[in-house]
Structures are given as C-alpha cells and as structure tokens.
Chains A and B, each alone.
Chain A
C-alpha cells in the first residue's frame, strides 16, 4: 500500500511520544539547572594547583616552578615566574616556588597535557564550567591565588586519582624520611676523628651522605 512506510514511521513516533510520559528510556531530558548535573570523575575542565592544606595555601603549594607544564602546554596559556628564594616543601627540602603562576582560561583548551607531564602532581584538572566573568581579559586570567585549591578538594573531585597520588607521595616521603634517618643514625654512630697530635693515623668518619 502506498504510504505504508510513512504510517510505520508515524507509529514509531507515536510510540516515542507516548513513551516519553512513562518510560525512562524515552525521556532523556535533564532539566538543568534545576536538576543538578552529575559529572563523571574523569571529567576535566581547566586546571588548578594543589596545595597540601587549606590553611596556608601559598605556603604549601606542591608546585616547584619547574616550568615543564609551561613548555608542554600547546596553546602556551601558562605563565610562570620562579621565586628568588627557597621555601621548605612538605618533606622539608628547600624548593623554589612560583612567584607568579597564571593560566589564561580564555586560551586553555583543557587538554590535560600539563597534568600528564607534571613530575610533582602539583597541577590537576578541575571540573569548573560555570565560569562566566564580567571582564573578557582580566576576568579569565586566573592567578596563583585563584588557582590554588586544597588537596581535600582534589579528593572530592577525583577520589581514585587523589588516593593514588597520596599513596605514592606518602610512600616517597616515607622512603625519603627513612633514608634521612638512616644517614643521621650512621653519622651519629661514626667515631669522632682523633686529634692529629695524639694519634698518628686518624680514623676515617663512617658517615653516609649528608641529608
């Protein structure tokens, strides 16, 4: 019969139309912003800098201003200036820190290469997308204070990633501590070198490398 194809098509449309009132598979609209949006853990939009704690963000940035992310960023949207002095990091080792760390989110394409190449797990992907600003240039240029967010926030966004990073960094820190403790113990146990006037052959110090 001529028109049977059209009628079959109309039947499909009718089924979908009626089904959209009761069948969840056919009502797919999420009424945002009334319905809160649920993002998957891997979702990425704009980076942020991880700080160890929230009370002293600038003092506990993991970033050591090595500028690797700046070099690898394809659209070159990261701008870093190293500090002149060194501050102790979470393991107590004095490290440089970024005096200026700015990301131009108007240019950033959230490609995540900066996160992949960072050797210190200092920069991670945020999930912010409601970022309308009133100024096209200054409003979208995020500086260090705006980018720094605490590790607890990182745990909230990416629980598995944060757990893995914490585990790894914790293990590294423990290993570094153990090494430092062993070296200090060995140095303390070394006999003091004798004064040259008393003994002809001074005993060599048996200490390990200075931590």
Chain B
C-alpha cells in the first residue's frame, strides 16, 4: 500500500479544493492520520473506497474524541537592551492563548479486497458549542451507521446526511452528551453508603438517611 504522504498528494491532486493535512502520531505505533475538511470529506471518502489502488471498502472503527479548549502559555525569550548601557538582559515574555476546543471523528479504514490498511481519517468540528456538524460517511460505508449514532449520542456531533440519526445507547429523552470531558453526572440516583465517592456525597444530599440506629451507624462507617 502506498504511504500516507502519497495518498495525501493524490487526494490533493484529485480534489484541489480540499484541505488534506497529514497529522503525525508521536507515539511508538506511528499510526499517522489524514485530517480532512468537512466539506470535501464525503467525496474523498467515496474516492478512497472506489480507487483501484486503495479499495478501502471496510470502515472498521469510527471514534469520537473530545478535545476541550486548552490554555497554552507561549514563552518567548527576548533580549532587552539595558538603558544604562550595560549588557542586554534576557527577559522571558509569557503570552497566554486559548486553543479552541473541538470534537473529532476518527475513521479507521481497511481494505478487505486488497487486505491492507489502516488509513486513518479524521474530521474535526468548528467548536464544541454551536458548530458541531460533520458530514456523515454512512452513505459511503454502512459500517458507520451505528457508530456515528453513538458519537451523536455520546458526544453531540450532528452528522448531516445520516439516514437515521438518533440516540442509540442513552434513552431518547436524555439531555446532554455523556462522553464529553465536561459532563457532570446527575446526583439523583439511589445512593448506597459505600466508602468512596464524592458522587455519593452529593447524592446523599438528595435523600434523607434511612431510619433506625443501625442504619445511622452504618452511614458513619466502620469504627476502628
């Protein structure tokens, strides 16, 4: 199979308007991926599936990832000349910038016909609040059907063009998206006096303790 750089070059040659970026994977596995822009992703996906050299007909895994916004501090060493005429001082200037967060969908593509792979393709949303739409690749690979529904359910990415986008693991009336990093789980579930958990502390606030001295003693925990 050709390398990821060659695939990227071919894609850029075939779809000049598309933005295809190669993201290097720093770890030992060296599984680099291609970052696609959402507008041209469906036609690139179709090309990847039907191209005779690649024939990536098997979409193995579709994952959602949440990248919350990060505050990054850039440190720049500047040389400030001394007004008194002495040697120049080296001053560190720290500037903070906010790297915007986004939601991401990662597709692992293999080929059953040619038995090679993987080619990893990523799609990123604009931000985590209002620009959370990505094109659905289910019309290209039916394998993405349930997995994109799961990403919609757990992360909140809206896949436009998906034939049946609704919640799959949580119940239909559920609000919020549980797998996001800033998800706060609800307090109002039946709590049990186990040793750990600030969740249980919060839940305790919802329910009065059971009656009886034995129950009150149980809540205090074992005596040393």
A residues with CB within 8 A of B: 76-79, 81, 99-100, 102, 104, 106-107, 135-138, 141, 143-144
Q: Whole-angstrom distance between the alpha carbons of A44 and B106 in the complex? A: 40
* Interface pairs (6), CB distance under 8 Å: A76-B196, A76-B197, A81-B224, A141-B193, A141-B194, A141-B221
Q: Whole-angstrom distance between the alpha carbons of A81 and B221 in the complex? A: 12
Q: In the complex where A79-B195, A79-B196, A107-B194 touch, is A138 in contact with B218 (Cβ < 8 A)?
A: yes
A77 close to B222 (CB less than 8 A): no
Count chain B residues whose beta carbon lies closer than 8 angstroms to a beta carbon of A: 14
Q: Which of A79, A102, A138, A144 contacts B214 (CB 8 A)?
A: A138
Q: Which residue of B lies closest to A78 (CB)?
A: B195
Q: Which residues of B contact A77 (CB under 8 A)?
A: 194-196
B193 close to A137 (CB less than 8 A): yes
A135 close to B195 (CB less than 8 A): no
Q: Which residues of A contact B196 (CB under 8 A)?
A: 76-77, 79
B residues with CB within 8 A of A: 192-197, 214-215, 217-218, 221-224
Q: Whole-angstrom distance between the alpha carbons of A136 and B194 in the complex? A: 11
B218 close to A102 (CB less than 8 A): no
Q: Which of B192, B197, B221 contacts A100 (CB 8 A)?
A: B221
A-B contact count (CB 8 A): 45
- Overall SS of chain B's interface: loop
Q: Which of A102, A106, A135 contacts B221 (CB 8 A)?
A: A102
A99 close to B195 (CB less than 8 A): no
Shortest CB-to-CB span from B121 to chain A, Å, is: 33
Q: Which residue of B lies closest to A58 (CB)?
A: B224
Q: Whole-angstrom distance between the alpha carbons of A16 and B214 in the complex? A: 54
Q: Whole-angstrom distance between the alpha carbons of A109 and B95 in the complex? A: 48
Q: Which residue of A lies closest to B197 (CB)?
A: A76
Shortest CB-to-CB span from A173 to chain B, Å, is: 28
Q: Whole-angstrom distance between the alpha carbons of A56 and B194 in the complex? A: 28
Q: Whole-angstrom distance between the alpha carbons of A106 and B195 in the complex? A: 11
Q: Whole-angstrom distance between the alpha carbons of A131 and B197 in the complex? A: 25
B217 close to A104 (CB less than 8 A): no
Q: Which of A102, A136, A144 contacts B195 (CB 8 A)?
A: A102
A141 close to B195 (CB less than 8 A): yes
Shortest CB-to-CB span from B85 to chain A, Å, is: 57
Q: Which residues of B contact A81 (CB under 8 A)?
A: 224
Shortest CB-to-CB span from B177 to chain A, Å, is: 24
B217 close to A138 (CB less than 8 A): yes
Q: Which residues of B contact A79 (CB under 8 A)?
A: 195-196, 221
A135 close to B218 (CB less than 8 A): yes
Q: Which residues of B contact A76 (CB under 8 A)?
A: 196-197
The 10 closest A-B pairs by CB, nearest first: A79-B195, A143-B222, A138-B218, A99-B224, A76-B196, A104-B194, A100-B224, A102-B222, A137-B193, A137-B218
Q: Which residue of B lies closest to A83 (CB)?
A: B224
Q: Whole-angstrom distance between the alpha carbons of A77 and B194 in the complex? A: 8
Shortest CB-to-CB span from B62 to chain A, Å, is: 27
Q: Which residue of A lies closest to B222 (CB)?
A: A143
Shortest CB-to-CB span from A34 to chain B, Å, is: 35
A141 close to B224 (CB less than 8 A): no
Q: Whole-angstrom distance between the alpha carbons of A1 and B196 in the complex? A: 68
Shortest CB-to-CB span from A5 to chain B, Å, is: 35
B195 close to A137 (CB less than 8 A): no
Shortest CB-to-CB span from A126 to chain B, Å, is: 18
B218 close to A106 (CB less than 8 A): no
